[in-house]
Every structure is written in C-alpha cells, then in structure tokens.
C-alpha cells in the first residue's frame, strides 16, 4: 500500500491523520505544480487527477481525503479517530461534510480564482468574483 501525495492541503490532512494514528506507509510524491497529476499515468490511478489517493496492495485505489482516512482508521489497530460506534462515525461524517461545504469548498474556489489562478486557469473553469463569494460564505458561517 502507498499514499500518492503532494504539497497541497488535502494530502497534508491525510498525512496528519496517519501521524496521529501512528500509521507508516510508503509515500509517492506527485508533482502537481508540474502537472504530473494531469498525466495519463496518474489518471490511470485516480481518474479525477487529484491528490491524494491510496493505492492498495491489490492495485485498487481509494481516493478522496475523508474516505482514505476512514479506510485507514478501519484497518488499523487502536482507538478510532472517526468513531467507535455507528452514531459516533455518523456525527464525525456530518461535521466533516459541513466543514467541506461551508468552509473548504468556498476557500478552495477562492484560492483557485486568486493566488492560484495562474496554476488553475487552464485546468478548470473559474467563476468570476469567486474570491468575494468565498469570503462572504466563510464570514456568514463564522458568525
């Protein structure tokens, strides 16, 4: 098993989760700044062309931060960080989803339309005024 990782925040979250749980697996660095994730070799691993993704020993791949963390939590001995009961896991997933929708997505879109515009302008469509929209959304949830 290996984690395909990069410099961006999503793989960092998985690496922090692994450190907290004491999980040590090989890391494969993906150079997203150079567009390695957009190449055919990486797209065969993860068709969304995003980092991180976890390649299992059987060759299958688990993608998406929350799912990777959940998978690692379930296959590793020791106290769960996600929850020991269905109710605890449901509560954790509820708050992760709320954070994603209310903070992470607007913040990411804002970054991609401002400081990250040069990198993302040819990779995905951008929404005009996304920075202002993101700031408004984040401010409304901070109150």
The CA distance from 36 to 55, in Å, is 17
Q: What is the pTM of this model?
A: 0.78
- Are both 69 and 6 inside the same structural domain? yes
The CA distance from 57 to 95, in Å, is 31
At residue 34, the pLDDT reads 87
At residue 98, the pLDDT reads 92
The CA distance from 68 to 8, in Å, is 16
- Kindly report which listed range (13-17, 48-52, 96-100, 121-125) carries the lowest average pLDDT score: 121-125
pLDDT band at 127 (very low <50, low <70, confident <90, very high): low
- Are both 134 and 96 inside the same structural domain? yes
CATH number at residue 59: 3.40.30.10
**Is residue 75 scored above 90 in pLDDT?**
yes
At residue 107, the pLDDT reads 77
> Is 135 inside a domain boundary?
yes
Assess contact for 110 and 131: CB atoms under 8 A: yes
* Domain of 136, in residue numbers: 86-142
CB atoms within 10 A of CB 36: 16
At residue 131, the pLDDT reads 65
> Is 55 inside a domain boundary?
yes
> Is 15 inside a domain boundary?
yes
Instruction: Indicate the DSSP class of residue 38.
Output: G
What is the total count of domains within the chain?
2
Sign of CA dihedral 23, 1, 94, 32: positive
- Are both 59 and 90 inside the same structural domain? no
List, for residues 103-121, the tens digit of each pLDDT value: 877 777 777 777 776 777 7
The CA distance from 67 to 54, in Å, is 10
pLDDT band at 129 (very low <50, low <70, confident <90, very high): low
List, for residues 14-72, the tens digit of each pLDDT value: 999 999 999 999 999 999 888 898 899 999 999 988 899 999 999 999 999 999 999 99
- Are both 17 and 66 inside the same structural domain? yes
């Amino acid at each position: 098993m290996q984690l395909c990782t990069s410099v961006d925040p999503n793989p960092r979250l998985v690496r922090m989760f692994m450190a907290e749980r004491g999980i040590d697996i090989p890391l494969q660095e993906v150079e997203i700044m150079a567009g390695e994730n957009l190449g055919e070799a990486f797209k065969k691993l993860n068709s969304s062309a995003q980092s991180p993704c976890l390649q299992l020993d059987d060759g299958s791949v688990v993608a998406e931060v929350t799912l990777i963390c959940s998978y690692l939590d379930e296959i590793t001995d020791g106290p769960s960080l996600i929850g020991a009961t269905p109710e605890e896991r449901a509560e954790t997933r509820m708050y992760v989803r709320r954070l994603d929708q209310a903070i992470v997505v607007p913040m990411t879109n804002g970054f991609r339309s401002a400081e990250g515009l040069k990198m993302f302008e040819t990779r995905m469509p951008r929404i005009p005024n996304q920075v202002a929209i993101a700031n408004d959304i984040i401010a409304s949830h901070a109150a």
